[in-house]
């Protein structure tokens, strides 16, 4: 079995996978109940009231839900988004907005720098045509956690869209308190379900005004929600097995101590990894004060003979799967600390990296 140090797809437990062994009709009352349980649990984890927010479930991966949110929420004529970007996922938002022809401006930071709250506030205050703010909480490109507790300081209300794809479940995100209107995450991140659907925690008072905005049939959150409310069904074939697995994953999530418990394990894994790698001479890409517990980026070793593919293949031959870097400027690789990983798995990885260094006579620094 491969051990995934990759933050998506990530490792899931055997019991979560086993929950897929049952076929269920989408109209079966038990399945309908599973959907309702998932929706209400996601709202509880978001610290919101059911009267104010709804959890829209959408087939597909995180990017589908981000694109669906932009399609649904933005009016082409009047709305303009401020996209704040310090990595590939911020850049992806700009790419989506360009592709679907919605107006935006972008505030860009280096990939190893946190987005600066004062700049964001200034950009919004200075441009009254900005109606929406969109950013990434945990920038999985680098591992940086961006600040998200500042929207209450704005002198006017902008709609706040947050990509929490890799942070939801590992960080407390009090959605209504932070004025987040649309929070996006997926089944195969920190809840540790199988890949297959994404969810959007949506402000109902805004979502109900979004009828007809989306220039897409499938990526219309308004329609998805309206149909769900009327029929308790998905509009199109639901990923029944994946939803069963997700319900099981939510139970295991509770058993581990919910967000606090999961954050504790991920943090222990990340800190051990970071300390051990630094003691082997590897350098961190992100300042430890901005580093989250999701993924860690390491600079390539100084040795000119270092070959990432050789390193990857060596570890993969031992069933240890790491991630290449995604930086545009620096040469890096990444190691995730989320999913059903144990400390024993992290020990295995460190021992294998030590063996690689010894066998190839690698000069790390
Ligand atoms: C922060 C962030 N945003 C968006 C995505 C895209 O999600 P997906 O690959 O599920 O489409 C990812 C994927 O890892 C992510 O980490």
Q: With a 6 A CB cut-off, is 164 part of the ligand 1 pocket? A: no
Residues 6+ apart with CB under 8 A from 44: none
Q: Which atom of ligand 1 is nearest to the CA of 7?
A: 14
343 inside domain: yes
Q: Which of 305, 296, 253 has its CA nearest to residue 276? A: 296
- 339 CA to centre of ligand 1 in angstroms: 15
- Let me know whether 290 and 190 are in one domain: no
196 inside domain: yes
Q: Which atom of ligand 1 is nearest to the CA of 92?
A: 4
- Let me know whether 43 and 117 are in one domain: yes
Residue with the smallest CA separation from ligand 1 atom 5 is 62
Alpha-carbon span 115 to 147, nearest angstrom: 7
> What is the band of 327 on the pLDDT scale with cuts at 50, 70, 90?
confident
- 230 CA to centre of ligand 1 in angstroms: 30
Instruction: Tell me how many domains the chain contains.
Output: 2
Judging by DSSP bridges, how do beta strands 159-163 and 182-186 pair with one another? parallel
- Let me know whether 207 and 337 are in one domain: no
Share of the chain above pLDDT 70, in %: 100
- Let me know whether 140 and 246 are in one domain: yes
Q: Which atom of ligand 1 is nearest to the CA of 138?
A: 1
Question: Ligand 1, from 63, 190, 326, 337: best to mutate by most atoms within 8 Å of Cβ?
Answer: 63
Q: With a 6 A CB cut-off, is 239 part of the ligand 1 pocket? A: no
For 278, the token pair is: 């630094």
> What is the band of 199 on the pLDDT scale with cuts at 50, 70, 90?
very high
Residues 6+ apart with CB under 8 A from 157: none
- 364 CA to centre of ligand 1 in angstroms: 30
- 353 CA to centre of ligand 1 in angstroms: 27
- 117 CA to centre of ligand 1 in angstroms: 23
Residue-range definition of the domain harbouring residue 296? 258-360
Q: Which pLDDT tens digit goes with each residue over 67-106?
A: 999 999 999 899 999 999 999 999 999 999 999 999 999 9
Q: With a 6 A CB cut-off, is 166 part of the ligand 1 pocket? A: yes
> What is the band of 6 on the pLDDT scale with cuts at 50, 70, 90?
very high
Chain position carrying tokens 């219309």: 220
- 166 CA to centre of ligand 1 in angstroms: 7
Average pLDDT over residues 38-46: 98
Q: With a 6 A CB cut-off, is 136 part of the ligand 1 pocket? A: yes
Average pLDDT over residues 204-232: 97
Alpha-carbon span 198 to 186, nearest angstrom: 4
Q: Is the pLDDT of residue 204 over 80?
A: yes
Residues 6+ apart with CB under 8 A from 28: none
User: Given 219, 234, 255, which residue is the final one in a domain?
Assistant: 255
Q: With a 6 A CB cut-off, is 196 part of the ligand 1 pocket? A: no
Q: Which pLDDT tens digit goes with each residue over 252-296?
A: 999 999 999 999 999 999 999 999 999 999 999 999 999 999 999
- Let me know whether 196 and 229 are in one domain: yes
Q: Is the pLDDT of residue 330 over 90?
A: no
H helical segments located in the chain = 14-18, 29-45, 62-73, 88-99, 117-126, 204-207, 221-231, 240-255, 258-279, 308-317, 343-360
Q: Is the pLDDT of residue 326 over 90?
A: no
Alpha-carbon span 96 to 149, nearest angstrom: 25
Q: What is the mean pLDDT of the chain?
A: 97
User: Given 224, 255, 286, which residue is the final one in a domain?
Assistant: 255
Q: Is the pLDDT of residue 328 over 80?
A: no
- 198 CA to centre of ligand 1 in angstroms: 10
User: Given 255, 280, 303, which residue is the final one in a domain?
Assistant: 255
Which comes out higher in pLDDT, residue 325 or 79?
A: 79
Alpha-carbon span 247 to 236, nearest angstrom: 20
For 334, the token pair is: 């990444």
- Which domain CATH number covers 341? 3.90.1150.10
Dmax (CA) of the chain? 65
């Amino acid at each position: 079995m491969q051990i995934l140090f990759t933050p998506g797809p990530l490792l899931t437990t055997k019991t979560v996978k086993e929950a897929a062994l049952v076929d269920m009709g989408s109209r079966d009352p038990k399945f309908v109940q599973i959907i309702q349980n998932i929706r209400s649990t996601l709202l509880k984890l978001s610290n919101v009231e059911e009267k104010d927010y709804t959890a829209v479930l959408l087939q597909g991966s995180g990017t589908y839900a981000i694109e669906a949110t932009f399609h649904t929420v933005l009016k082409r004529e009047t709305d303009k988004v401020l996209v704040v970007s310090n990595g590939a996922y911020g850049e992806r938002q700009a790419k989506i907005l360009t592709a679907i022809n919605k107006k935006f401006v972008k505030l860009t930071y280096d990939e190893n720098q946190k987005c600066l709250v004062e700049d964001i506030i200034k950009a919004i205050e200075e441009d009254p045509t900005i109606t929406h703010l969109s950013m990434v909480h945990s920038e999985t490109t680098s591992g940086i956690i961006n600040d998200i507790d500042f929207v209450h300081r704005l002198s006017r209300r902008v709609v706040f869209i947050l990509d929490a794809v890799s942070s939801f479940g590992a960080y407390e995100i009090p959605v209504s308190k932070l004025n987040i209107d649309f929070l996006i995450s997926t089944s195969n991140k920190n809840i540790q379900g199988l890949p297959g659907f994404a969810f959007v925690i949506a402000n109902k008072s805004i979502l109900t005004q979004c009828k007809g905005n989306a220039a897409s049939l499938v990526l219309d959150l308004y329609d998805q929600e309206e149909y769900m409310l009327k029929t308790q069904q998905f509009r199109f074939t639901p990923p029944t097995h994946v939803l069963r697995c997700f319900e099981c994953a939510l139970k295991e999530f509770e058993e581990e101590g919910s967000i606090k418990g999961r954050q504790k394990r991920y943090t222990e894994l990340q800190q051990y990894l970071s300390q051990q790698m630094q003691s082997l001479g590897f350098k961190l890409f992100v300042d430890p004060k901005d580093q989250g517990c999701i993924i860690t980026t390491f600079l390539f070793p100084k040795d000119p003979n270092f070959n990432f593919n050789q390193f990857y293949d060596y570890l993969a031959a031992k069933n240890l799967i790491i991630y290449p870097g995604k930086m545009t400027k620096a040469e890096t690789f990444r190691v995730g600390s989320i999913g059903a990983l144990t400390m024993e798995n992290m020990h295995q990885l460190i021992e294998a990296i030590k063996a690689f260094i010894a066998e190839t006579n690698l000069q790390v620094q």
